[in-house]
Homo-oligomer: A and B are copies of this chain.
Amino acid sequence: MSAEPVLFPRLVAAANRDWAAYIRHRFVLLLATGELPEACFRRYLVQDYLFLIHFARAWGLAIYKSDALGEMRRAQRLVAATLDVEIGLHIDYCRGWGLSEASMASEPEAPATIAYTRFVLDRGVAGDRLDLEVALAPCIVGYGMIAAERMRDPATRLEGNRYREWLEMYAGSDYQGLASEAAAALDEQFARRGGEGRFLTLAHIFAAAARLEADFWKMGMEARS
C-alpha cells in the first residue's frame, strides 16, 4: 500500500481555476452525459492519436533523463504502455468510429496538439526529469481523476452513452493504477530532485499544462460537424 500523494494535490490546489476548467470542461461533461456531438469526439480521437506519439517520445526522453535503473524501467513501462497498448487500443477504438490509422496519421496536428505536446517536451529537455513528470501529470493523472469524478457524478449516464467505453477505460482499475503510480512518482522525484525552492516553478509548469489540456478539449468542441 502506497502513501497518499503529497505533491500532486498541492499542484492541483495551486492551479486552482485552471485545473477546474480542465477537468470539468464542457467537453468532458457532455461526454459523460452522452450529449457530445460525434464530430467533436472524432476530432478529439484523431488529435489524441497524434498526441500519443509525442507522449511516447516524452517517456523515451525520461529514459534518457534517468539516473537509476528503477527510474529507467518505469519510463520504459510507460513507453510500452503507450506504444504497445494505448496506441493499439486507440487504433481499434477509432476503427469502431470509422477512423483508420492511415487517415489519422495523415491528419495535420492541430495547433492545440502542437502547443501542449511541445510545451511538455520543452520543459522536459530544458529542465530535469521532475520538470518533465510535472508537465505530464495533468494528462496522465488528470485523465484518471476526470473519469473517476464523472463516474461519481449523478448526471453521468452510462446506459446508451456512445462514450461509455472511454469513461470505463479511464475509470477502470488498470488506468487508475497507472495514474496512482504516476502521482506517487512525483513525490519520489520531489524528494530526490526537488525542494520547496522549486515549488513555484513546478506549479507554473503544472498550471500551464492544465490550460493547454483545456485548449485540447476546446479544439475538440470546435470541430465542424
- Nearest chain-B residue to A75 (Cβ)? B60
Cβ of A83 and Cβ of B73 under 8 Å apart?
yes
Interface size class of A (residues with CB under 8 A): 35 or more
Residue-wise, chain A 186-225 has the 8 Å CB interface mask toward B (1 for contact) of 0000111111111001000000100110010000000000
Asked, given contacts A60-B61, A83-B73, A114-B115, whether A126 binds B126 with beta carbons under 8 Å apart, the answer is no
Rounded to whole angstroms, the CA-CA distance of A118 and B114 in the bound complex is 8
| Residues A96-150 near B (CB distance < 8 A) | 108-109, 111-112, 114-115, 118-119, 121-122, 125-128, 131
Among B53, B73, B112, point to the contact of A111 (Cβ < 8 A).
Answer: B112
Identical copies in the complex? 4
Cβ of A63 and Cβ of B87 under 8 Å apart?
no
| Residues A56-77 near B (CB distance < 8 A) | 56-67, 69, 72-73, 75-76
Asked, given contacts A118-B119, A198-B194, whether A79 binds B53 with beta carbons under 8 Å apart, the answer is no
Among B59, B118, B131, B195, point to the contact of A196 (Cβ < 8 A).
Answer: B195
CB of A35 to closest CB in B, whole Å: 26
Cβ of B66 and Cβ of A63 under 8 Å apart?
no
Rounded to whole angstroms, the CA-CA distance of A112 and B219 in the bound complex is 13
With a cutoff of 8 Å between Cβ atoms, the chain B residues found around residue A192 in the complex are 197-198, 201
Cβ of A115 and Cβ of B122 under 8 Å apart?
no
Cβ of A64 and Cβ of B64 under 8 Å apart?
yes
Which applies to chain A's interface (DSSP): helix, strand, loop or mixed? helix
For the complex, is A158 an interface residue (Cβ under 8 Å from B)? Answer: no
Cβ of B65 and Cβ of A63 under 8 Å apart?
no
For the complex, is A80 an interface residue (Cβ under 8 Å from B)? Answer: yes
With a cutoff of 8 Å between Cβ atoms, the chain B residues found around residue A59 in the complex are 63
Cβ of A126 and Cβ of B65 under 8 Å apart?
yes
Please give 7 more A-B residue pairs, beta carbons under 8 A apart, in addition to A114-B115, A122-B122: A56-B63, A60-B60, A111-B212, A114-B212, A193-B198, A194-B197, A195-B198
Closest 10 CB pairs of A and B: A195-B195, A60-B63, A118-B118, A115-B115, A61-B64, A60-B64, A128-B128, A114-B115, A118-B122, A127-B128
